[in-house]
């Protein structure tokens, strides 16, 4: 799975971003106050837009340089004609950076003041924030690595409880820029203005749910410096990917032969959803192998996929005796999807192991096949071809043998250690690859948290694996799946959304990126 660049936005972590800023300041001679002024201007403009006709603001600043951005933003709001701007220092005045002190002096020269948060009465502050047109969060920025406590926590709660729009400078305070973790409690911003480059915490859940509307401001760090500040994590947005237009002189064999092994008694829907999604994602030929006990049901459900029976056991699942027939089918198909609705028993484990050893092309493991490999991770390293795992968080915890602590880091570590790709499904799906690159899909919605949507994703990935490189196929399928889910939510609402709606709207998502 060699690295294939896509038209995607590379993110920067806190360490690399700090180094880039220092290179700009000390290596290129760009004054730090000039960078701060530009950052503050972007924050102030966003705040003014949110405030609308209510030209009043309250600004909460930490003692670090993020606080300096806030102090400068308060002065700029005054210059814009805001009738009331109150600016508060949340933290130890003795720890203020030199740049923040410089911005305080400029604020004072403009007729403003940096007030001590701890000296302001609670009732008075509540009244102030509730009657402000906009609030500005400039408490911590991207360097936060500890839980929010004390006055900072009180300020976070004031902002969240105010009912007023909040602009966060760089990242909502309380969100880890590197992991997306919420460090105790975090500001729930209406808008976040980050500087120079986006950070993983803007996209990784749960922190990404705090960012609100999101923009990246150019504050003057040279492009060549930023080009070296990426951390190997990419955000995937609409327009970043492309499905190639099909050539006129082609046939179905040009678009892949996909073998799906899925289903069991009581779980006929999983197999059918997977196969229908594969057909809708352009697979040339889709073969659906199911236990004999459900063959007639699946044959009726699926008109485009070619359904065939395999030997089942007494529980209506695949029997180990089906392995020779599976191996023969694998030799004729370039891609395999294994797992939806299989059930969990020793036969499933044996079938999964045999398929991994026999398949020379990519294998997508989903659902109960993930359970099977969790019992023996050595199977991943014994696989003949590329392996793509598609766990939700609970399934990934089983693979790890512990709770998921950091979606991004855990996904990358597992992918690297086991030589596979990990598609960690969620509100913002993370696609981690064994070379240390990861992609986060900036699409999807809570309505997709319903049975069968994972089966749809597995089928879509399997289909594209027969048409393009593994990395591009995985990332593109994940985006199409999320985008179709968003279209379904727009049409039916998040409560009513079902897996079949995503299949129905895959064509609309696909048409958006055909170029």
Asked if 14-231 and 253-513 have one fold, the answer is no
- Number of neighbours of residue 83 by Cβ within 10 angstroms: 10
pLDDT-derived band of residue 2, with 50, 70 and 90 as boundaries? very low
Please give the pLDDT value at position 1: 43
314: Cβ contacts below 8 Å, ≥ 6 apart: none
**Does residue 161 contact residue 181 with C-beta atoms inside 8 Å?**
no
pLDDT digit string, tens, across residues 335-355: 999 999 999 999 999 999 999
Position 238 pLDDT exceeds 90: no
Please give the pLDDT value at position 7: 60
Write phi, then psi, for 13 (nearest 5 degrees): -95, 175
- Number of neighbours of residue 504 by Cβ within 10 angstroms: 17
Please give the pLDDT value at position 4: 45
Q: Which residue has the higher pLDDT, 264 or 125?
A: 264
For residues 310 and 316, give the distance between their C-alpha atoms in angstroms, rounded to a whole number. 11
pLDDT digit string, tens, across residues 420-465: 999 999 999 999 999 999 999 999 999 999 999 999 999 999 999 9
pLDDT digit string, tens, across residues 144-187: 999 999 999 999 999 999 999 999 999 999 999 999 999 999 99
Over residues 489-511, the mean pLDDT reads 98
Please give the pLDDT value at position 6: 57
Domain boundaries, the chain: 14-231, 253-513
- Helices 499-513 and 470-492: crossing angle in degrees, nearest 10, is 120
The domain made up of 253-513 has a fold known as: 3.40.1190
ω into residue 206 within 30 of 0, thus cis?
A: yes
pTM of the model: 0.94
Residues 135, 138, 141, 145, CA torsion sign: negative
Position 3 pLDDT exceeds 60: no
11: Cβ contacts below 8 Å, ≥ 6 apart: 197, 198, 199, 200, 202, 203, 230, 231, 233, 234, 235
Strand 9-10 and strand 56-61: the pairing is unpaired
Mean pLDDT over each residue of the chain, to the nearest integer: 96
Query: How far apart, in Å, are the Cα atoms of 210 and each of 17, 43, 189, 323?
Result: 21, 17, 6, 48
Calculate the dihedral angle through the C-alpha atoms of 408, 414, 420, 425, rounding to the nearest 10 degrees: -40
Over residues 102-123, the mean pLDDT reads 93
Over residues 474-496, the mean pLDDT reads 98
Please give the pLDDT value at position 8: 77
For residues 326 and 322, give the distance between their C-alpha atoms in angstroms, rounded to a whole number. 6
Please give the pLDDT value at position 439: 98
pLDDT digit string, tens, across residues 58-94: 999 999 999 999 999 999 999 999 999 999 999 999 9
* Percent of all residues in the chain with a pLDDT value above 90, rounded to a whole number: 95
CATH of 14-231, one of 3.40.50.300, 3.40.50.970, 3.40.50.10260, 3.20.20.410: 3.40.50.10260
């Amino acid at each position: 799975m060699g690295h294939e660049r896509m038209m995607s936005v590379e993110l920067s972590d806190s360490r690399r971003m700090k180094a880039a800023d220092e290179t700009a300041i000390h290596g290129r001679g760009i004054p730090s106050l000039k960078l701060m002024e530009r950052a503050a201007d972007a924050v102030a403009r966003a705040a003014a837009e949110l405030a609308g006709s209510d030209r009043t603001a309250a600004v909460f600043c930490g003692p670090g340089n993020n606080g300096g951005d806030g102090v400068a933003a308060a002065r700029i709001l005054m210059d814009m004609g805001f009738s009331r701007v109150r600016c508060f220092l949340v933290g130890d005045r003795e720890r203020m950076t030199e740049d923040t002190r410089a911005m305080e002096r400029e604020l004072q020269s403009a007729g403003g003041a940096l007030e001590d948060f701890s000296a302001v009465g609670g009732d008075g502050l509540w009244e102030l924030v509730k009657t402000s047109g906009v609030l500005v969060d400039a408490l911590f920025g991207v360097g936060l690595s500890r839980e929010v406590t004390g006055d900072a926590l009180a300020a976070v709660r004031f902002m969240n409880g105010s009912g007023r729009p909040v602009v966060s400078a760089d990242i909502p305070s309380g969100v880890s820029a590197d992991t997306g973790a919420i460090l105790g409690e975090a500001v729930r911003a209406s808008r976040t203005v980050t500087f120079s480059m986006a950070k993983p915490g803007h996209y990784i859940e749960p922190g990404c749910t705090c960012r609100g509307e999101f923009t990246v401001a150019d504050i003057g760090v040279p492009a060549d410096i930023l080009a070296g500040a990426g951390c190997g994590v990419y955000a995937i947005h609409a327009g970043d990917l492309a499905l190639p237009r099909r050539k006129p002189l082609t046939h179905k064999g040009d678009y892949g032969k996909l073998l799906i092994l899925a289903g069991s008694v009581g779980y006929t829907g999983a197999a059918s959803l997977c196969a229908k999604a594969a057909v809708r994602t352009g697979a040339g030929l889709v073969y659906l192998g199911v236990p004999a006990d459900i063959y007639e049901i699946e044959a009726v459900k699926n008109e485009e996929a070619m359904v065939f029976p395999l030997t089942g056991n007494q529980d209506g699942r695949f029997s180990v005796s089906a392995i020779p027939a599976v191996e023969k089918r694998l030799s004729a198909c370039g891609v395999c999807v294994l797992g939806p609705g299989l059930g969990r028993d020793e036969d499933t484990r044996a079938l999964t192991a045999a398929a991994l050893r026999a398949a020379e092309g990519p294998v997508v493991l989903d659902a109960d096949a993930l359970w099977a490999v969790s019992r023996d991770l050595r199977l991943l390293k014994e696989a003949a071809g590329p392996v793509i795992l598609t766990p939700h968080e609970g399934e990934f915890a089983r693979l790890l043998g512990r709770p998921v602590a950091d979606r991004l880091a855990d996904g990358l570590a597992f992918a690297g250690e086991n030589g596979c790709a990990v598609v960690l499904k969620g509100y913002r799906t993370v696609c981690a690859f064994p070379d240390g690159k990861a992609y986060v899909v900036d699409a999807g919605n809570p309505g997709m948290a319903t049975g069968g949507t994972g089966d749809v994703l597995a089928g879509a990935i399997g289909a594209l694996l027969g048409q393009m490189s593994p990395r591009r196929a995985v990332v593109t399928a994940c985006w199409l799946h999320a985008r179709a889910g968003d279209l379904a939510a727009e049409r039916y609402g998040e409560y009513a959304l079902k897996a079949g709606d995503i299949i129905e709207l895959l064509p609309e998502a696909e048409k958006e990126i055909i170029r």
